[in-house]
Amino acid sequence: MSKELTKRAEDYSKWYNELVVKADLAENSGVRGCMVIKPYGYAIWEKMQAELDRMFKETGHSNAYFPLFVPKSMFEAEEKNAEGFAKECAIVTHYRLKNDPDKPGKLMVDPNAKLEEELIVRPTSEAIIWSTYKNWVQSYRDLPLLINQWANVVRWEMRTRLFLRTAEFLWQEGHTAHATKAEAIEESEKMMHVYADFVENFMAIPVIKGLKTETERFAGAEETYCIEALMQDGKALQAGTSHFLGQNFAKAFDVKFANQEGKQEHVWGTSWGVSTRLMGALVMTHSDDNGLVLPPNLAPIQVVIVPIFKTDEEFDAISAVANDLVAQFKKLRISVKFDNRTTQKPGFKFAEWELKGVPVRIAVGPKDLENGTFEIARRDTLSKEVKSKEGIVNYISDLLEQIQSDLFNRALDYRNTHVTEVNTFEEFKDVLENKTGFIAAHWDGTPETEEKIKDLTKATIRCIPLNRVEEEGKCIFSGAKSTGRVLFAKAY
């Protein structure tokens, strides 16, 4: 099975597309640009959701649900936001079908059921949520509002790719309202840190925290914080964003509160989100030419047990041992599968679980039974070892933690060796083409230079790193003064 997978070195993009489908994560649907998330892929997403949800609640947020549709007049109220999304909106114009008189058995849109006002399928929910917050906030006592929503959103992308860019995707969007600017900024920074914590410690993907430039900022935000990850092909991927919205939406939707002195003020806002795009980051950070490699924290199946047998007696004896192991793993809340199918051979099973990225495989044959051993294989390193059955469950429990941290460190090493400082535009182009990765370079701070560099090289400024060193320098493109380096890269 794994033989059919294109090699990364051959065609990284093809490798990705094939792997997502073959590993049963997702597939394209019969609806343009929309994907079907298959049970195995969805099980990984559920693990992400559960952990993020726990983190949001721990930081004081509650979930709620707001409408899918946004009336056009509401959508356009915050002009920059509306302008930013206008070109990729799915628009509902009618509310009824009727029988097509010319085609028996077929339906047509009923022209008599035209909506008075068109409805936009939410590309993001600031407009609908701030129009609601208007009624929820009167006094400083009503603040802060710390709300999150798990939802589907639609952005009519012309070129789509599974998980990375789809017309419909799943995400969470936090929308908070605060009495002061400082508190709102603190919230947007806090959620960037929550995202970084999640992506690094749970997904084993190292990220760089930073600020977006004005050009790359969320439409309607005053400031966009982001976390940027680096994929194996040297391209960057924006893994999450957190926006300080200033008073933009409060002004657009007239959301005011009486402060402690009884004066009316506009509310300060934030919004922040991560999406099923993270599934793409997961695949492209850890997986290899044999298939998916899953960090144990996210693996729907953490351990698979494959029996190797010829006779029914052997199968029964192995099953007894395997079932005992399963019970022990379950006590430790380790998710385990005993692959006792008799319709497939061990080699087939090995390839299948390798393709699906199960972190640890245990093989048991008649000889193992005799010797009191198991063959343990790690998916990440593809290494195998024979271990005594004594203490095997605790050994594997530790091994899973080891794999989780090894995956992070391996990705971190790769990322760290792919942040290159350059001081000339020639160097810049050379690194971009030949070494790839993040390029730390001086930039004059103008959108014009940013755009010219993008036009010439397809590289964009991924972020202004939060931890950057103040350093006098000259813009690699214009030669104008700069006070610190920003990170460029080609990006997904």
Would you tell me which residues interact with its own copies (CB under 8 A)?
Answer: 27, 29-31, 34-39, 42-43, 45-46, 62-72, 74-76, 79, 82, 86-99, 105-107, 109, 118-121, 128, 131-132, 135, 141, 147, 151-152, 154, 156, 168, 170, 343
**Amino acid at residue number 230:** L
Nearer to its own copies, 170 or 376 (CB): 170
- Contacting residues for 147 by C-beta, under 8 A, at least 6 apart: 61, 62, 63, 64, 129, 174, 175, 176
Nearer to its own copies, 93 or 405 (CB): 93
| Min separation Cβ 54 and its own copies, Å | 12
The residue among 486, 384, 406 whose CA lies nearest residue 441 is 486
| Min separation Cβ 279 and its own copies, Å | 11
| Min separation Cβ 58 and its own copies, Å | 14
Nearer to its own copies, 272 or 374 (CB): 272
What tokens appear for 253 in the block?
Answer: 């939707």
| Min separation Cβ 395 and its own copies, Å | 29
Cβ(209)–Cβ(196) under 8 Å?
yes
| Min separation Cβ 418 and its own copies, Å | 33
Nearer to its own copies, 92 or 382 (CB): 92
Cα separation, 489 vs 476, in Å, equals: 14
- Contacting residues for 269 by C-beta, under 8 A, at least 6 apart: 126, 130, 175, 176, 177, 178, 184, 245, 246, 247, 248, 249, 250
| Min separation Cβ 398 and its own copies, Å | 28
Nearer to its own copies, 232 or 270 (CB): 270
215 CB neighbour count, 10 Å cutoff: 13
Burial level of 489, CB count in 10 A (0-12/13-18/19+)? buried
| Min separation Cβ 96 and its own copies, Å | 5
Nearer to its own copies, 94 or 435 (CB): 94
* Preceding peptide of 144 cis, ω within 30°: yes
| Min separation Cβ 46 and its own copies, Å | 7
Nearer to its own copies, 74 or 476 (CB): 74
Cα separation, 157 vs 168, in Å, equals: 9
Cα separation, 370 vs 396, in Å, equals: 21
What tokens appear for 143 in the block?
Answer: 């603040």
Tell whether the torsion through CA atoms of 206, 196, 453 and 165 is positive or negative: positive
Nearer to its own copies, 117 or 455 (CB): 117
Q: Which residues share a beta bridge with 63?
A: 148
